[in-house]
Structure 1
Amino acid sequence: MATDVVENSEDAYIITCALLSFVCIHPYGNLSAIDTLFFGASSSTESGLNTVDVNDLRTAQQVFIYVVPILTNLMVVNIVVVIVRLYWFNRKFKEHGYRARDSVDTKDAEASIGLGETLSAPLPNVGTKSKEDGSANTEEANRQLDRPFQRTAITFANDRKDIEKEKAFYIPSPRARELGQPIIQVDHSDGAVDEDQEPAKPPQDHRLEPVKRRHTFQYDNAGSSARKSVETLASTLFVLGRSKSEQKTTTSSTLPRRSSDLPNLSRQVTLGRNSSFHNLTSQDREVLGGIEYRSLKLLLKITIGYLLGIHVFGVGCLLPWIHRSPAKYTDWLVECGIGKTWWAFYSSQTMIDNLGFTLTPDSMISFRDATWPMLVMTFLAFAGNTCYPILLRLVIYIMSKIVTKGSSTHQSLQFLLDHPRRCYTLLFPSGPTWVLFGILFVLNFVDVLLIIVLDLNNPAVNDLPMGPRILSALFQAASARHTGTATLNLANVNPAVQFSLLAMMYIAVYPIAISVRASNTYEDKTLGLYGTDAELDESSSSAYLMHHVRNQLSFDLWYVFLGTFAVCASEAKRISDNADPAFSVFSIFFEVVSAYGNVGLSLGHPDVLTSLSGQFKPFSKFVICAMMIRGRHRGLPYGLDRAIMLTDEER
């Protein structure tokens, strides 16, 4: 259910951004309604397919498809999730704080009223008695004056608790809460809270002793107790782990290891799979919750800094180059009516946000022999997508080595490194991060090798010297899984290269998607939506990986085939026309996979400088829009994800 909520929320957000195109693009009158929707869907999903040349759009329309991909970028979406979590937690803390304060104030007021009624009882007026009764009345008055001090007592009702004792809110484990066990307030102690705790004993009377004053009611102390209870609640809201009573018998192969990276935790705390803590005491929950909350706030600053920094870096690298570049590049921009500064900003953004739109009608073919922009834009393509988790972890690692060891910042950074998936969807542990790096290296190496080797005698590729050819092939390999920009005319490359690019587009999301699902703190063995009875042998990494791959294939393939079938049915007449070989089943299949993978590569058509979609009928264009929006969900986890959970969902 939680995954459905996330998908529906993202659907609503993406569709809303796509429909904004009717407000920001359509009023200019140079695009049809379906082309307007197509640009909206393509820009909001960062697909990069276009039915009209981007250079033919008005400047305001270009600005729209510049801003929207930034707002819907995967980095921005995850930053918004962190902001929402922090806001939600702070709001919950305030609510519980007000409740605790009001509860203490009520108790203090009632206690004061009871004390006043006892001590302020009217004393007998002995001054009005007659002198004849002097001795007798004096003795009686003395007895009445002594009586209140002998009988003074404060007795609380049976439903009152001793406010002097320190209280804590105990939140049961997720499994216990699913069974209906509520959040309760219990006596705070250093030991673990027993879920089968017996009912509290009836409160006893507290006698007021004239000499001992430590039982005096003070509002400051009561407020302090309330604040401490709220702090305890705040910390436990972040921590989902098992207490001692919840620990189950495990085999030696699945026995959790000792948590040595958090020395402030008690010795009995163990660390299970995917940063799941076990044997947590109430004090451990306070320590762990405080660290996690500080880590989340620090992570927000780091991710925002990364997002802004990478955009500034891209513009800073391309802007000076284009203003001092050789004449053949600047003349091409002048011919297309594109300003140098606008080209630098737009090219940087389209690579970082993996959009794929370019202001030049031939994509990046005119710049394929320019070494500096090819290097910079290739790096930006990786840094904005598949290498984002790798570089983000690298930034955190470097910061942890720079800051003072043992400081609060160092502790937060170390927590992010050791338990990344408790805080952020796209931050992985060390092992999966290295695996992700290895997979990306192999995929890109194979892709570059295929482009170079299979097109050794192809004039569309070998007209470049070997150095620029390799760099151009690397750019094309990166674009096949990210931006959808092109340095080669894909319609003229080797058919085997075309098929390899299609495969690369389809598996583009696999490295990150499988890393997300394999490292999900709550996607434990059963893997959420795929059944609670399917146990996995986690000791076999190949079996575990293949399980994820099979699930991904079953999730994807029928969408791709259904979309291809719908477009082929709509375009059957043109497909059957032998005079138009560029319009084939394979080219349509290539277009559908590109849309579903949110990549943007296209074999194009000789008659236009757009994607092949520009030649489709309105119904086929609508199908491509649906494929782009549906494909946006490929990277979501199967089940509940700790990094996107709010307070009320942590159960």
Structure 2
Amino acid sequence: MAVLPPFNFLTLHYAYFIATPLICSAIFWGSSTPSRSFGYVDSLFMCVSAMTGAGLNTVDLSSLNSFQQSILFALLFLGHAILISITVLFVRRSAFQAKFKRISIERAQKRFLHMAGQGSPLDSTQEDVSVGHHQPTRLDDVGQGVKESVTAEVTSAEPNGGLPSDDPIQWVEDDQITIGHVKARQHHHRHRVFPMVGVGARPDLNNHPRDAAPRLPEVEDELPAFKEFFKGTQKYFASKGFIARNSQFHGLIPEERDRLGGVEYKAITFLLVIVTLYWVLFVLCGIIGMGGWLTANHPDIARKNGLTPFWTGAFFAVSAFVNSGMSLLDANMAAFQTNAYPLLTMSLLILAGNTLYPCFLRFIIWVLRCCVPNNPSWASWRVTLDFILDHPRRVYTNLFPKRHTWYLLGTIIILNAIDWAGFEVLSIGIKEIENLPKGYRVLDGLFQASAVRSGGFYVVTISNLRQGLLVLYVLMMYVSAYPVLVAMRNTNVYEERSLGIYAHDNSDDEQEGKSASGFIQLVRHHIFRRQDASTPEASRSYFVHQQLRSQLSHDLWWIALAVLLIAIAESSNFNRQPVAYSTFNIIFEVVSAYGCVGISVGLPNSNASFCGGWHPISKLILAAVTLRGRHRGLPVAIDRAVMLPNESLEWAEEEDAAMRREQSRAWGSNKMPIGSV
């Protein structure tokens, strides 16, 4: 068990992306015509490339039979991040339903036993309807029934302040596993060979609550200036709890946690419908739009490669939406250099399917919120939409708060503008581009800017571009995942916990005290109007910087090692064709694969990617690179949006609040008198 990876979201994600291409590659290879016309390694690489969205191809797609093209078409769908997120939403909704059903049954049994003990029949009308057997009741009613005399503290069920002894769920090294009554501390020092906790997260983190305080202290009495940083929960349900930064709910008793779960359940259910409609409508409109346009306007382009026009257009649309870059046409998008409709349509699909997906989704939900009538009959919908907009990272991985969404939009605009400007300036003197009409030259530059960071398509021959522009493309492909990654990590509900700030080992207590949370640093800055420039924790962005440093170093090691091994394996090809197999071309191909982009410098007299001329061992190394690159933009193992509801997860927020409170007390007493400026 110490060697096997833990059972969590990242492990399942890796297993899915490894098992599916392995199965499909055997079918892909066995169905080739003529039989065994290319090796199994090529079949495996093609399936991995389609599944991960890398888009690199070691064989010409136009030479494949229809069945093999259909396999790649299906893999493009199966590996798309939006489809996987829909699955996560479905699983989490089912988990909420099971939890509510269990709670309702337990409460009904307790009432039955209580009524039976008093000798009176059970009145079914007295059943608590805060959570139903399968779903919560109307959100207007989730706050009803809360007693006015809610106490400020809840007595712990265990002497150590943890969960009840009959709770089979414990948290060990970021993973929820069933271990009966085994204490979490016994497993705290177990180290795994494959931690699978996400880059930047502590692999030895124990997530089991030790001494969480259910209620936050009276804020007005302890730190008066803290009041502006907390919000009440009355907007969603009645309670005396608070909402702190990063959408963390504190000071809730178990009954109020159930009501919060009801609100989250309805938000997840609503998102499941919206995201599914988003995915289906964009795919259908793209297929119909590109397939119909190609059939009506330029069917000859597809027929030159022996392809059906509508099928070719449909493959283009799906490949663009999933940001793969695979094309059945040997010329890729260069065949449409002077056609505005496919360039604009493909650009929209590329942005909607990946880089701007969080922005589009939040805009849709915001529009729906604006359209909801302001009357009591629509109150539950207003609560649901408000909760999604106010606390998006509690319910979905790729939906961010307003500030972070604007940041993401601005970052993408700036990066695409740099790509477009580089294309226009550094292409001066290249005949293939200068021969284009000025309007289409601008449009081609905008399309290439949209495709170079993740789309994978090319509207001009990449190998003909200037060296400086290729270097720019390498940098852009390398940072392709970072805008979304930064927003995802910065809005994680369990930000401190994912970084291991709060480790629950006695030997680490002193070290924990030295690491002040970003919340406390924010309070220092805004309340006391001072910052300690000598410590890195003085900025709220300290956590994101830690994540990025870990991510950057991890990425560089993967890329450097892959380039080294491939360069060694391709020494014979380099001696034969030093220009075509140059080290820079290998770096370009590896970065394109790691970024799951798909742009390639290609090979002379070949329509395949540059890796199509490599040795089998090099192709296998590159396939491993694409798998690792596909997982670099995922959330860490401790992320509310990918974890199932359970008591340990809920009480982790209360423990974080207690620890932050302790740190604030220590800082307030040792660093500066409370209230001084």
SS in 1 for 2:246: coil
**1:551 is matched by which residue type in structure 2?**
S
Q: Decide whether the 8 Å contact of 2:499 with 2:543 is kept in 1.
A: no
The residue number in structure 2 matching 1:394 is 363
2:337 counterpart (362, 368, 387): 368
The residue number in structure 1 matching 2:16 is 13
Counting only pairs closer than 5 Å after superposition, residues 266-277 of structure 1 correspond to structure 2 as: 268-277=240-249
Q: Decide whether the 8 Å contact of 1:257 with 1:270 is kept in 2.
A: no
1:595 counterpart (593, 596, 609): 593
Separation (CA, whole Å) in 2 of partners of 1:596 and 1:25: 24
Residues 98 and 263 of structure 1: is their aligned pair in 2 closer, same or farther, counting only changes over 3 Å?
Answer: closer
Residues 525 and 465 of structure 1: is their aligned pair in 2 closer, same or farther, counting only changes over 3 Å?
Answer: farther
Separation (CA, whole Å) in 1 of partners of 2:81 and 2:488: 13
Residues 629 and 267 of structure 1: is their aligned pair in 2 closer, same or farther, counting only changes over 3 Å?
Answer: closer
Q: Decide whether the 8 Å contact of 1:591 with 1:602 is kept in 2.
A: yes
Residues 362 and 528 of structure 1: is their aligned pair in 2 closer, same or farther, counting only changes over 3 Å?
Answer: farther
1:61 counterpart (45, 51, 68): 68
Deviations 1:94-136 (A, max 9, x none): 2343344344445555665xx99xxxxxxxxxxxxxxxxxxxx
Counting only pairs closer than 5 Å after superposition, residues 74-85 of structure 1 correspond to structure 2 as: 74-85=81-92
Alignment pair present for 1:435 and 2:386: no
Counting only pairs closer than 5 Å after superposition, residues 493-512 of structure 1 correspond to structure 2 as: 493-512=465-484
Separation (CA, whole Å) in 2 of partners of 1:247 and 1:523: 24
Counting only pairs closer than 5 Å after superposition, residues 235-634 of structure 1 correspond to structure 2 as: 243-245=214-216, 257-259=229-231, 262-263=234-235, 265=237, 268-280=240-252, 284-325=256-297, 329-405=298-374, 407=378, 408-524=380-496, 527-528=499-500, 534-535=515-516, 536=518, 537=521, 540=539, 546-577=545-576, 579-634=577-632
Counting only pairs closer than 5 Å after superposition, residues 91-110 of structure 1 correspond to structure 2 as: 91-106=98-113, 108=115
Counting only pairs closer than 5 Å after superposition, residues 211-230 of structure 1 correspond to structure 2 as: none
Q: Decide whether the 8 Å contact of 1:387 with 1:437 is kept in 2.
A: yes
Residues 435 and 631 of structure 1: is their aligned pair in 2 closer, same or farther, counting only changes over 3 Å?
Answer: same
Separation (CA, whole Å) in 1 of partners of 2:239 and 2:28: 62
Residues 198 and 378 of structure 1: is their aligned pair in 2 closer, same or farther, counting only changes over 3 Å?
Answer: closer
Q: How far has the Cα of 1:542 moved from its partner? A: 6.3
Q: How far has the Cα of 1:68 moved from its partner? A: 1.4
Q: Decide whether the 8 Å contact of 1:269 with 1:280 is kept in 2.
A: yes
Q: TM-score, length-normalised on structure 1?
A: 0.77
Separation (CA, whole Å) in 1 of partners of 2:227 and 2:432: 58
Separation (CA, whole Å) in 2 of partners of 1:387 and 1:250: 43
Separation (CA, whole Å) in 2 of partners of 1:2 and 1:284: 35
Separation (CA, whole Å) in 1 of partners of 2:284 and 2:340: 20
Deviations 1:482-538 (A, max 9, x none): 221111111110101001111111000000011000000111387348986654555
Residues 261 and 461 of structure 1: is their aligned pair in 2 closer, same or farther, counting only changes over 3 Å?
Answer: farther
Q: How far has the Cα of 1:284 moved from its partner? A: 4.6
Q: Decide whether the 8 Å contact of 2:236 with 2:387 is kept in 1.
A: no
Q: Decide whether the 8 Å contact of 1:38 with 1:51 is kept in 2.
A: yes
More divergent stretch after superposition (251-260 vs 341-350):
251-260
List, as ranges, runs of 4+ consecutive aligned residues in structure 1 with deviation greater than 6 Å: 1-4, 163-169, 246-254
Q: How far has the Cα of 1:247 moved from its partner? A: 7.3
Q: Decide whether the 8 Å contact of 1:276 with 1:521 is kept in 2.
A: yes
Residues 397 and 412 of structure 1: is their aligned pair in 2 closer, same or farther, counting only changes over 3 Å?
Answer: same
Q: Decide whether the 8 Å contact of 1:461 with 1:493 is kept in 2.
A: no
Deviations 1:280-322 (A, max 9, x none): 3566545433222211111111100100111122123223322
The residue number in structure 2 matching 1:217 is none
Separation (CA, whole Å) in 2 of partners of 1:168 and 1:282: 15
Q: Choose between structure 1 and 2 for higher RCO, CA contacts under 8 A separated by at least 6 residues.
A: 2
Separation (CA, whole Å) in 2 of partners of 1:546 and 1:34: 39
Q: Decide whether the 8 Å contact of 2:501 with 2:515 is kept in 1.
A: no
Residues 646 and 545 of structure 1: is their aligned pair in 2 closer, same or farther, counting only changes over 3 Å?
Answer: closer
2:50 counterpart (25, 30, 43): 43
Separation (CA, whole Å) in 2 of partners of 1:74 and 1:529: 29
Residues 528 and 387 of structure 1: is their aligned pair in 2 closer, same or farther, counting only changes over 3 Å?
Answer: farther
Q: Decide whether the 8 Å contact of 1:570 with 1:617 is kept in 2.
A: yes
Separation (CA, whole Å) in 1 of partners of 2:321 and 2:129: 47
Q: Decide whether the 8 Å contact of 2:239 with 2:256 is kept in 1.
A: no
Separation (CA, whole Å) in 2 of partners of 1:449 and 1:19: 41
Structure 1 runs not aligned, ≥5 long: 117-162, 170-186, 200-240
**2:77 is matched by which residue type in structure 1?**
I
Residues 164 and 333 of structure 1: is their aligned pair in 2 closer, same or farther, counting only changes over 3 Å?
Answer: closer
SS in 2 for 1:640: coil
**1:552 is matched by which residue type in structure 2?**
Q
Separation (CA, whole Å) in 1 of partners of 2:83 and 2:42: 26
Residues 528 and 447 of structure 1: is their aligned pair in 2 closer, same or farther, counting only changes over 3 Å?
Answer: farther
Separation (CA, whole Å) in 2 of partners of 1:108 and 1:542: 55
Deviations 1:151-183 (A, max 9, x none): xxxxxxxxxxxx9999999xxxxxxxxxxxxxx
Separation (CA, whole Å) in 2 of partners of 1:190 and 1:390: 43
SS in 2 for 1:524: helix
SS in 2 for 1:52: coil
- Over the matched positions of the two proteins, sequence identity in percent amounts to 30
* Higher-Rg member (1/2): 1
- Alignment length, in residue pairs? 543
More divergent stretch after superposition (413-422 vs 476-485):
476-485
The residue number in structure 1 matching 2:163 is none
1:72 counterpart (69, 79, 93): 79
Q: Decide whether the 8 Å contact of 1:188 with 1:282 is kept in 2.
A: no
Alignment pair present for 1:32 and 2:39: yes
SS in 1 for 2:487: helix
More divergent stretch after superposition (558-567 vs 281-290):
281-290
Counting only pairs closer than 5 Å after superposition, residues 97-136 of structure 1 correspond to structure 2 as: 97-106=104-113, 108=115, 112=119
**2:331 is matched by which residue type in structure 1?**
D
SS in 2 for 1:336: coil
> What RMSD in Å do the two structures reach over aligned CA positions?
3.3
Q: How far has the Cα of 1:449 moved from its partner? A: 0.1
Deviations 1:408-451 (A, max 9, x none): 11221111001100100100000000000000000000100001
Deviations 1:39-96 (A, max 9, x none): 1111110110110001111111111111112122110111111110111121233234
Q: How far has the Cα of 1:251 moved from its partner? A: 6.3
**1:343 is matched by which residue type in structure 2?**
T
SS in 2 for 1:274: helix
Separation (CA, whole Å) in 1 of partners of 2:259 and 2:365: 21
**2:548 is matched by which residue type in structure 1?**
V
Q: Decide whether the 8 Å contact of 2:29 with 2:39 is kept in 1.
A: yes
Q: How far has the Cα of 1:617 moved from its partner? A: 0.4
Separation (CA, whole Å) in 2 of partners of 1:108 and 1:347: 66
Separation (CA, whole Å) in 2 of partners of 1:189 and 1:22: 62
Q: Decide whether the 8 Å contact of 1:352 with 1:384 is kept in 2.
A: yes
**1:16 is matched by which residue type in structure 2?**
A
**1:342 is matched by which residue type in structure 2?**
W
SS in 1 for 2:332: coil
Q: Decide whether the 8 Å contact of 1:336 with 1:360 is kept in 2.
A: yes
Residues 60 and 36 of structure 1: is their aligned pair in 2 closer, same or farther, counting only changes over 3 Å?
Answer: same
Alignment pair present for 1:196 and 2:155: yes
Separation (CA, whole Å) in 2 of partners of 1:511 and 1:582: 33
**1:321 is matched by which residue type in structure 2?**
W
The residue number in structure 1 matching 2:506 is none
Q: TM-score, length-normalised on structure 2?
A: 0.74
Residues 255 and 47 of structure 1: is their aligned pair in 2 closer, same or farther, counting only changes over 3 Å?
Answer: farther
